A and B are shown apart, each in its own frame.
Chain A
């Protein structure tokens, strides 16, 4: 009897430990059953310490919230992230609006945007700025006729998709207006190429303000802060926007509990860690707001039109 009783004590003890070890939130069934790690894709390289800090902050916050490791997958170009999320190799990604439009064209509602930044003044968009060297004779958009232009990437919203669409709306065909066009690959490379005189102008992302207030974020500011360039060496001659800001997107075939926790944990970061938020390159006073596909419908339409144009033989 005593031996049997102690066996029951052991069994009940084990059960109790198992029960106590599970957090309350898993009451709906352990959604982690099929997930050992959360995989998150980010684009860009490790040259910018602020970007590295930002990724680390998101990784730590999500890992803490989900109780599982978070593995970051870094891609040096836009397409790497787009293909990773479209193919389902990763669970979460941060991606520009144009990139999401590309994903949407590939896999539709298998991927959904869940968050986007909302700035202090309420904007949820950013701008594209046509930038030239300060010593350039180019003073206006019209002066760029026949001159060389560096786009960022075919999947860049501010560095390709949006300014081209807005040029067309103004009656300018971007495929014939500029003398020569090329892709720099990323904003940092575009600024360096512009500084080195490889082209006359480039479209760069600008945010954290508007054309009236000025901008506090974007590749020019980031590079200036790192001492790589001097802001005085560059000049903005034309801006367009706002366009919908980057999205945090998720695979919709993942557990809903994971999606809800990711949305909540990421959005809580500026409130949980108010001193960290500006240190990771986010504008103080900004926050993340919930979005869905509807928020990006204009960009999705622009991407469709761009694809149609491309199939029709446009360049580059």
Chain B
């Protein structure tokens, strides 16, 4: 009975301790392993970031040095850390137990917009592989019209030069030229697609029945803040909410936390598979 009581007491204390669990952030760099609170020698931006998270979450925030992205991924999968910044290769082995929660949008860059690759419905080429060498039209030269579709296609194995590229004024013009047979395929962002193909009348629920969507996907993120899939939903959403406003509320903390991105503008939420080649269609 004593053993039973002791075991139960330990279990209760352990459960209670879990409530006050610190937030453990993996950071790649040299240093002793194990998670520790920052001391006064830490960079000001890092201290600002930890202080902001600690204040908003009401828990201690710890830094957990790891040697490599792969080590960060392993620590995350093992439950030794709660957050890690990973790239696609580091994420791949742990994708079943972890997920992306945040990415950083660079200054001047578009949202991670879904991109639609489409051909005429009469075209037998229904795969990306089948379209190698095809005449492909992009919808404009803006970040959303050109950079984002190119990034999506390149990640899926169709880099610049894979198609015979043409650049139209906008997505609508590109789709018009596809329909007219002047190009074989279009890669346009989802908003341009919706402007043309979204139903505006119950009499015509499918205005683009003459066009076939080969694939629809967001560009793969180059890096993302990754958490375990079993992280409580509320905690995940609080972390997203806190990070999204970081550039407004704590600029020094943002500069540190997003310092791994090029010209960081803001944190954005991310889908679980942001670091993979997942497709929406």
Q: For B236, list chain A residues within 8 Å (CB).
A: 264
**Given A118-B111, A285-B113, A19–B239 Cβ distance below 8 Å?**
no
Q: Are B241 and A208 in contact (CB under 8 A)?
A: no
Tell me how far the C-beta of A241 lies from the nearest C-beta in chain B, rounded to whole angstroms: 17
Bound state CA distance, A182 and B162, in angstroms? 59
Closest to A12 in B: B8
Chain B interface residue number, banded:
35 or more
Among B34-42, B179-187, B267-275, the stretch in contact with A: B267-275
Shortest B73–chain A CB gap in Å is: 21
Secondary structure of the B side of the interface? helix
**Is the beta-carbon distance between B240 and A267 smaller than 8 angstroms?**
yes
A169 within 8 Å of B by Cβ? no
Q: How many residue-residue contacts, CB under 8 A, span A and B?
A: 196
B58 and A27 contacting across the interface, CB-CB below 8 Å: yes
Contact of B5 among A12, A20, A290 (CB under 8 A): A12
Interface residues of B in 225-281 (CB under 8 A from A): 231-242, 244-245, 247-249, 266, 268-271, 274, 280
The answer to whether A272 and B194 have CB atoms under 8 Å apart is no
CA gap between A20 and B113 in the complex, in Å: 39
Question: Closest approach, in angstroms, between the C-beta of B18 and any C-beta of chain A?
Answer: 7
Report the Cα distance A262→B241, complex, angstroms.
7
Q: Which residues of A contact B240 (CB under 8 A)?
A: 263-265, 267-268
Interface segment, one of A71-79, A133-141, A198-206, A225-233: A225-233
Instruction: Determine whether the beta carbon of A19 is less than 8 Å from that of B16.
Output: yes
Across the interface, B110 reaches (CB within 8 A) one of A26, A122, A221, namely A122
Interface residues of A in 51-96 (CB under 8 A from B): 64-67
Give bound CA distance, A264 to B190, whole Å: 23
| Other-chain contact of A221, B57, B193, B200 (Cβ < 8 Å) | B200
**Interface footprint category on A:** 35 or more
- Most B CB contacts (10 A, CB to CB) among A1, A225, A268, A291 go to A268
Binary contact readout B192-233 vs A (1 if CB under 8 angstroms, 0 otherwise): 111100111111000000000000000000000000000111
Residue of A nearest to B243 (CB): A264
B87 at the interface (CB under 8 A from A): no
| Complex contacts, B269 vs chain A, CB 8 Å | 264, 267-268, 270-271, 287
Residues of B within 8 A of A283 (CB): 191, 194
Contact of A292 among B15, B248, B280 (CB under 8 A): B248
Bits for B138-167, please: 1 = Cβ < 8 Å to A, else 0. 000011110000000000000000000000
- Please encode chain A, from 260 to 279, with 1 for each CB lying within 8 Å of some chain B CB and 0 for all others: 11111101101110110010
Q: 19 A–B contact pairs at CB < 8 A?
A: A9-B4, A12-B8, A16-B15, A19-B16, A19-B18, A24-B235, A25-B235, A27-B19, A27-B20, A114-B245, A120-B191, A225-B200, A227-B202, A263-B241, A275-B280, A285-B113, A285-B191, A289-B266, A290-B247
By a beta-carbon cutoff of 8 Å, the part of chain B in contact with chain A is 1, 4-5, 8-9, 11-12, 15-16, 18-21, 56-59, 110-111, 113-114, 142-145, 170, 172, 189-195, 198-203, 231-242, 244-245, 247-249, 266, 268-271, 274, 280
The 9 closest A-B pairs by CB, nearest first: A28-B58, A264-B240, A264-B241, A120-B191, A263-B241, A264-B237, A25-B235, A260-B241, A19-B15
